[in-house]
Each structure stands twice: as C-alpha cells, then as structure tokens.
C-alpha cells in the first residue's frame, strides 16, 4: 500500500509501476491533477529548460522534441528505479504553432486568431528511465465560436492565462462559453492525454 502526498490518500498501486518511483517533471497544476487521477503515487521534480525547438519540425514533432528536452537535465541524476514523465503542449492553427503568450497584447492576438476556427492541440509526452526512453504525441481538434472583444478582455482580465499554450485553459470560463466541439481527448487539451499515457505506462 502506498501513500500519495499530493492527493493525501492511501491506495494499492497498479502492479505495472510498483517497481518504479514516478517523477512528474512539470510545474503545471493541471498535469499534476491529471496524473493524480490515475491513482499513481508520484513526486514532482522540476528542472528549468529553454523551450526552444529547431525550425522545420512538424506539428507532432514539436511537442515531442520539447518533452524530450525537458527530460535531458535528469540524465546525470536518474536512479535505476526512477521513471520520469515530461510533457509539452502546443496549439496549432493556420499552419503555425502557438505557445505561451508573452504578454496581454500577445494573448489577445492569439485568442483573436483562434476565434471562429478549428485548431489542433498537440501534447508530446516522454517517459524516461535509466535504460530506455519512450515518447508519443496525442492530438485533439478544438472548435471555437466567434469571440467578441469584450469576451476576450473579460477572460484575460480575470484568468490571466499566460502559462497556457494558445492563451486559454479548456477547464476555465472560456472553455464553457467558447468551445463548441472537441474531437479527441479533453484531457489532452488540458495538458496531459492520460488515457494514452496509461496505455504506455502499462507497457513498462
């Protein structure tokens, strides 16, 4: 039986991971919440990296590259029983990538670009142990209604989504009033495709 410090509960872990100490390398509270939902005990360890990727990568290659990049600082310190989970999420619209906004004006421009369109949310996940590394990308199509300037202003003034790709959080107010349809994993749009992650963890 294990105790999870994050969720504050005791439970029997899935035997697929009983030989590993799981480490989530993310400061995102949403990813912590989603991983906690799998009832896997984990701890959070963060190493800051410059989230820069080379030109010429495809939509699905970008978040996978960044997820692998976030795993690199652990190379020298990873123990034999550790499993590191890193992830990165991008928004793809008009054949271009939207990352996190730089400021209020940038966030406003992003939301205007998403207004009334379909965009793709792509999350890359990297699983790293001492002996191997597995990565994958999961995508979801998200449809926005036309946003008014007042709706954009209200959202940015009250939620300040500067830590979110595309300048929005699907679980926040704007997700309630703007998203008309999602094709794919809702949790992927939040930042971690937990169903696909569960499938990959089973293979360990």
**CB-facing half-sphere around the CA of 199: CA atoms within 13 A:** 9
pTM equals 0.89
Say if residue 204's pLDDT is above 80: no
Contact by Cβ (8 Å): 71, 86? yes
Residue 19's pLDDT is what?
84
Determine the structural domain holding residue 125 and report its residue range. Answer: 2-202
Residue of 12 and 31 predicted with greater confidence: 31
| Phi and psi at residue 50, to the nearest 5° | -80, 115
Q: What pLDDT score was predicted for residue 18?
A: 80
At 36, which CATH number? 3.90.950.10
pLDDT at 17: 78
Distance, in Å, from the CA atom of 19 to the CA atom of 38, rounded to the nearest integer, reads: 17
Backbone angles phi, psi at 145, to 5 degrees: -75, 175
For residue 12, pLDDT beyond 50: no
pLDDT, one tens digit per residue, over 40-53 is 999 999 999 999 99
The residue to which tokens 């990727």 are assigned: 53
pLDDT per position as a tens digit, 21-80: 999 999 999 999 999 999 999 999 999 999 999 999 999 999 999 999 999 999 888 999
- DSSP 8-state class, residue 147: P
Report residue 115 as tokens. Answer: 């207004």
* Nearest-10 crossing angle of helices 104-114, 149-159: 130
Looking at residue 13, its pLDDT comes to 46
pLDDT for res 54: 96
For the chain, the C-alpha Rg in angstroms (whole number) is: 17
Domain count for the chain: 1
Q: Which residue numbers are catalytic?
A: 88
Question: Which residue shows structure tokens 């300037």?
Answer: 149
Cross-strand bridge partners of residue 98: 91
Count of C-beta atoms within a 10 Å radius of residue 63: 30
Provide the pLDDT for residue 15.
54
Query: Could you give the CA distance from residue 204 to residue 164 in angstroms, rounded to a whole number?
Result: 30
pLDDT digits (tens, 9 = 90+) for 107-147: 999 999 999 999 999 999 999 999 999 999 999 999 999 99
In this prediction, residue 3 carries a pLDDT of: 45
Q: How far apart, in whole angstroms, are the C-alpha atoms of residue 111 and residue 185?
A: 21
Mean pLDDT of 152-169: 97
Average pLDDT of the chain, as a whole number: 92
User: Average of pLDDT values for 175-184?
Assistant: 98
* 3-state SS, residue 73: helix
CA–CA dist 148, 142 (Å, integer): 18
């Amino acid at each position: 039986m294990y105790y999870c410090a994050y969720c504050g509960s005791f439970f029997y872990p899935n035997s697929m991971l009983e030989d590993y100490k799981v480490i989530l390398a993310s400061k995102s509270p949403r990813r912590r919440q989603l991983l906690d939902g799998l009832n896997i005990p984990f701890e959070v360890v963060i190493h800051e990296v410059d989230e820069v990727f080379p030109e010429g990568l495809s939509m699905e290659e970008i978040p996978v590259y960044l997820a692998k990049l976030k795993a690199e600082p652990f190379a020298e310190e990873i123990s034999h029983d550790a499993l590191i989970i890193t992830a990165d999420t991008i928004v793809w619209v008009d054949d271009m990538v939207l990352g996190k906004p730089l400021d209020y004006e940038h966030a406003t421009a992003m939301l205007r670009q998403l207004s009334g369109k379909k965009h793709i949310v792509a999350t890359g996940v990297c699983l790293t142990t001492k002996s191997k590394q597995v990565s994958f990308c999961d995508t979801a199509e998200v449809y926005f209604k036309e946003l008014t300037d007042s709706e954009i202003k209200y959202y940015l003034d009250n939620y300040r989504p500067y830590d979110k790709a595309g300048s929005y959080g699907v679980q926040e107010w704007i997700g309630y009033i703007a998203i008309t349809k999602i094709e794919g994993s809702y949790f992927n749009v939040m930042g971690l495709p937990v169903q696909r992650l569960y499938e990959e963890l089973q293979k360990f």
